[in-house]
């Protein structure tokens, strides 16, 4: 799992938009503040528009602004809007097709780790981060070994050790 530079820049641009929701932010200004080339910032803006997170207004006084309430968008949603599904390993991707998944002793570990990361990033909104209210929460089931099978479905491969 890797948070790409593009995602990092997108999060920084979104922070600027969330801090001043009333104003339009030009892509050029955002690019300068985030210290990325203008064309890269345009690419990021395009991805955020496609994801429905920001809207773009054209013209001399145009720019971009948040289309959603920052308290309603999670960090995971932003990450996945920019770089696709957050996966721990190729075998945990939505379209995974690994011949060893059923019997691999590591597959349940990667599935569990992915579930934990998803839960963690789903507990933090853009508003939380921008306003420094970082109090992420993770479901207590992740601390209870007996509840492992609630969030990891890996068939007989998991249960072999029981």
Residue 62, φ and ψ in degrees, nearest 5: -80, -170
pLDDT tens-place string over residues 60-99: 778 899 999 999 999 999 999 999 999 888 888 877 777 7
Fold for domain 5-66?
Arc Repressor Mutant, subunit A (1.10.10)
Tell me the DSSP string of 64-133: EEESS-GGG-BHHHHHHHHH----SSGGGSTT---TTTTT-SSHHHHHHHHHHHHHHHHT-BHHHHHTT-
Task: Take residue 94 and report the two structure tokens written for it.
Answer: 């939505």
Average pLDDT of the segment spanning 100-114: 82
Exposure of 3 in the CB half-sphere (CA atoms within 13 A)? 12
Boundaries of every domain in the chain = 5-66, 85-159
CA distance 72 to 81: 14
> Quick check: 105 pLDDT over 60?
yes
pLDDT tens-place string over residues 25-67: 999 999 999 999 999 999 999 999 999 999 998 877 788 999 9
% of residues, the chain, pLDDT over 70: 93
At residue 99, the pLDDT reads 77
């Amino acid at each position: 799992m890797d948070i790409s530079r593009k995602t990092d820049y997108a999060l920084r641009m979104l922070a600027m938009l969330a801090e001043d929701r009333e104003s339009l932010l030009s892509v050029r200004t955002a690019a300068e503040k985030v210290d990325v080339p203008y064309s890269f910032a345009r690419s990021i803006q395009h991805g955020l528009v496609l994801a429905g997170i920001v809207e773009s207004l054209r013209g001399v006084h145009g720019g971009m602004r948040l289309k959603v309430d920052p308290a309603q968008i999670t960090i995971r949603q932003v990450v996945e809007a920019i770089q696709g599904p957050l996966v721990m390993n190729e075998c945990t991707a939505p379209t995974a097709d690994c011949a060893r998944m059923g019997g691999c002793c590591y597959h349940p570990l990667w599935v569990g780790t992915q579930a934990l990361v998803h839960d963690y990033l789903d507990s933090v909104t853009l508003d939380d981060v921008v306003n420094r209210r970082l109090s992420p929460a993770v479901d207590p089931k992740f601390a209870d070994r007996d509840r492992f099978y609630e969030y990891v479905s890996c068939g007989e491969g998991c249960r072999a050790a029981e």
